[in-house]
Structure 1
Amino acid sequence: MPFVTIDGQPLHFIDQGTGPAVLLAGSYLWDQSMWAPQIAALSQQYRVIALDLWGHGESGRIPDGTGSLDDIALQALALLDHLEIERFTLVGLSVGGMWGARLALSVPQRLNGLVLMDTFLGVEPEPTRQYYFSLLKMIEETGVISPQLLDIVVPIFFRPGIDPQSAMYQDFRASLAALPPERLRESIVPMGRITFGREDLLPRLGELNAATTLVICGDQDKPRPPSEAREMAELIGCPHVLVPEAGHISNLENPAFVTETLLGFLAERHQ
């Protein structure tokens, strides 16, 4: 499996297909396998790179000195430089969009396109920030995501009507329950604090290229509701698309719709 050492830690990534490069940046608490439907489809025409966030999947722990989403963006850029990829389209879901937008703003000349999915580039609203920080503190103190916490955390990622016995739901729950204490304390909790303690990027959204940017959001996304997607799209001046019958991980809840939308967007970038 491909790894590259960045800031002293092994970063794991998938590199599949040939053609124009597409970087897939996923959600907190999910690894690159969340993109499986999109990797299978997009890699028929594009070179698709999907990375595991620090402490997620096969990647090592969060490197010392990593304290912000800007740091995460620079580390992703180091991966692209390692792969000798000059120009790329970035598709970022949730925290992937949060650091992905920072990457887009730092190297606009290297971007073919930017898709912001189920994400929000403003600060975390104070009540939810405090709530998430309290959950992270519980995980840090106990070294486990308890069954009671799983009952709170897992449903956040899916639309309200999902069958909790479905394989997607149960597999995600099992993956969180299996996280070892050191990984939780060294990477998952710090990554959560970086994510939910992020700085406000809304004032800079006008700097993004509206002609090559798209905002996508599950129509039933609870943590990142469609109202946030609309606000960002208006600030950027770009289109936004709602994914029907989908929550936060919209690319897995309605993979066909999301894949078709991405293929359409990429075709416009590479006519």
Structure 2
Amino acid sequence: MPFVIVDGQPLHYIDQGSGPTVLLAGSYLWDQAMWAPQISALSQQYRVLALDLWGHGQSGKLPDSTTSLDDVARQALTLLDHLGIDQVTLVGLSVGGMWGVRLALLAPQRLNGLVLMDTYVGVEPEPTRQYYFSLLKQIEDSGEVAAHLLDIVVPIFFRPGIDPQSALYQDFRASLAALPAGRLRESIVPMGRMTFGRDDQLARLGELNSETTLVMCGDQDKPRPPSEAQEMAKLIGCPCVIVPEAGHISNLENPGFVTQTLLKFLAERN
């Protein structure tokens, strides 16, 4: 498994296929495996990178120097530098889109395309921020994602109609239940506070290249509703695609639709 040491910690990533490079940046509380359907399809024509957030998957703990999503964007650039990759198309879902926009603003010359999925770069609405912070405090205090918290957190990521006995739902629930106290306190909770306490980037969306940017959102995404996606697309001046029958992790709830949309977008970029 490939790693690169960034800010003193091992950053884990998948590197599969060959051709123009696509960087997949995933959701908080999910590792790179969330992109399995897209990695399988895209790597037939492209070089696909997918990284694990700090404290997620096989990456090391959140480096002490990491205090904001701007740092995460800088760390992703360090990975590209390490691999000698000049340009990528970045596909960022949820927090992946939040730091993906920061990478695009920091180093626009490194992107030939940007897809923002189920994400929002404005500030978290205050009631929601306080609510998420209270959940994080409970996790920090107990050192676990207890059963009553799993009942709250897991449904947030899926469309309301999902079968709670499905493998997708149950595997995610089990992954959260298995997180050890050290990882939760050192990485997961601080990363959550960084994500939900982020500063506002909406005013800078007009700096992005509208011709090489696409916004996507699950039609039933609860934490990041389509109205937010449409607001960002309007500010950027780019298309907005609504993914049918999908919640927050739209690429796994409707993988065929998302993969075909990405392939079409990539074909136009490369």
TM-score (norm 1): 0.99
Aligned match of 2:210: 210
SS of the aligned residue for 1:27 comes to: coil
CA offsets 1:33-90 (integer angstroms, 9 cap, x no match): 0000000000000000000000000000000121000000000100010010001100
Aligned match of 1:12: 12
Letter in 1 for 2:113: G
Q: Provide the C-alpha distance between the structure 2 equivalents of 1:64 and 1:85, rounded to a whole number of angstroms.
A: 26
SS of the aligned residue for 1:50 comes to: strand
Letter in 1 for 2:48: V
Aligned match of 1:35: 35
Written as runs of structure 1 = structure 2, the 5 A alignment for 1:13-162 is 13-162=13-162
SS of the aligned residue for 1:145 comes to: coil
Aligned match of 1:258: 258
Q: Provide the C-alpha distance between the structure 1 equivalents of 2:192 and 2:110, rounded to a whole number of angstroms.
A: 28
Q: Please report the RMSD computed on the Cα atoms of aligned residues, expressed in angstroms.
A: 0.3
Q: How many equivalent pairs are there?
A: 270
Q: Provide the C-alpha distance between the structure 1 equivalents of 2:202 and 2:216, rounded to a whole number of angstroms.
A: 17
Q: Provide the C-alpha distance between the structure 2 equivalents of 1:65 and 1:121, rounded to a whole number of angstroms.
A: 22
Which stretches of structure 1, 4 residues or longer, exceed 3 Å deviation after superposition? Answer: none
Q: Provide the C-alpha distance between the structure 1 equivalents of 2:80 and 2:26, rounded to a whole number of angstroms.
A: 16
SS of the aligned residue for 1:57 comes to: coil
1:182 and 2:182 are equivalent in the alignment: yes
What is the CA distance between 1:108 and its match in structure 2?
A: 0.6
Letter in 1 for 2:33: S
SS of the aligned residue for 1:22 comes to: strand
TM-score (norm 2): 1.00
What is the CA distance between 1:110 and its match in structure 2?
A: 1.5
Segments of structure 1 that go 5 or more residues without pairing to the other structure are none
Using the aligned pairs only, state the percent identity.
Answer: 81
Q: Provide the C-alpha distance between the structure 1 equivalents of 2:264 and 2:167, rounded to a whole number of angstroms.
A: 29
CA offsets 1:116-152 (integer angstroms, 9 cap, x no match): 0000000000000000000000000000000000000
Aligned match of 2:220: 220
SS of the aligned residue for 1:184 comes to: helix
Q: Provide the C-alpha distance between the structure 2 equivalents of 1:177 and 1:154, rounded to a whole number of angstroms.
A: 10
Q: Provide the C-alpha distance between the structure 2 equivalents of 1:85 and 1:71, rounded to a whole number of angstroms.
A: 19
CA offsets 1:93-131 (integer angstroms, 9 cap, x no match): 000000000001111112110000000000000000000
SS of the aligned residue for 1:155 comes to: helix
Q: Provide the C-alpha distance between the structure 2 equivalents of 1:94 and 1:31, rounded to a whole number of angstroms.
A: 12
